[in-house]
Homo-oligomer: A and B are copies of this chain.
Amino acid sequence: MSKFKEDIQDALSCIQSGQTILVGGFGLVGAPLTLIDGLIQKDVKDLTIVSNNLGESGKGLGALLNQNKIKKGIGSYFTSNRDVGDKYQKGEIELELLPQGTLSESIRAGGAGLGGYYTTTGVGTDLAIGKEEREIDGVKYIFEKSIFADVALIRAYKADRLGNLVYYKTARNFNPIMATAAKNVIVEVDEVVEPGELNPEEVITPQIFVNTIVEAKQILTKEGVVSK
């Protein structure tokens, strides 16, 4: 069975208004720009987006933001897009700020079926307000809940038709953990290969996590994002 789909809207058909969507990438690097573009074309609203950033101004998730489709953003560094601050000031978006390690760990925990965990990160800071504090073996920790979403939109380098994935350099970032933490996982890739072409020792995301594969048509280059 091949998980490859030609049509982007077909691949995104599981997405509905009000859902929580994980979106891979560190800024635009490793972001699923083709799938985000598909989301921009699609008639949905009230999305909760979990992503390290909300893109850059007008680019990537930044374009989705400007369509007012994002009800809430959960991330670690919204500063990379000044529009986020403007919308927040106007009360047009809710934001939940998490330390980057907590964001990534909560997503991993969600994918691993854990309810939550205790971390030292953030203890005694404003980001710990309202969070349970607990001392374990003399060290203070705060409780963080896991994150599990309806959909994950991620980017990889190569996929075989079964859905095994490998990544490319620092475009890996949040993508492999997001692949584990959503009911529907949709990946865009530069290249689709036959099963057997990826070395089983080198597969980063086993196919068990992947529902749908599409070909990347928006590519990040030195000159910015270009359409393929």
Contacts and interface: CB of A to CB of B under 8 A. Distances in A.
Contact of A114 (B105, B166, B168): B105
A99 interface: no
Contact of A116 (B136, B169, B199, B201): B136
Contacts of A167: 201
Q: How many copies does the complex hold?
A: 2
Nearest to A114: B117
Contacts of A168: 201
Interface string A105-137: 100010011111111100000000000001011
A139 B202 CA distance: 35
A139 B115 contact: yes
A153 to B, nearest CB: 22
A141 interface: yes
B201 A201 contact: no
A45 interface: no
Given A136-B145, A167-B201, A202-B201, A116 B118 contact: yes
Contact of A115 (B109, B141, B169, B201): B141
19 contacts: A113-B120, A114-B117, A114-B118, A114-B119, A114-B141, A115-B117, A115-B118, A115-B119, A115-B120, A115-B134, A115-B137, A115-B139, A115-B141, A116-B141, A136-B145, A166-B201, A167-B201, A199-B202, A201-B202
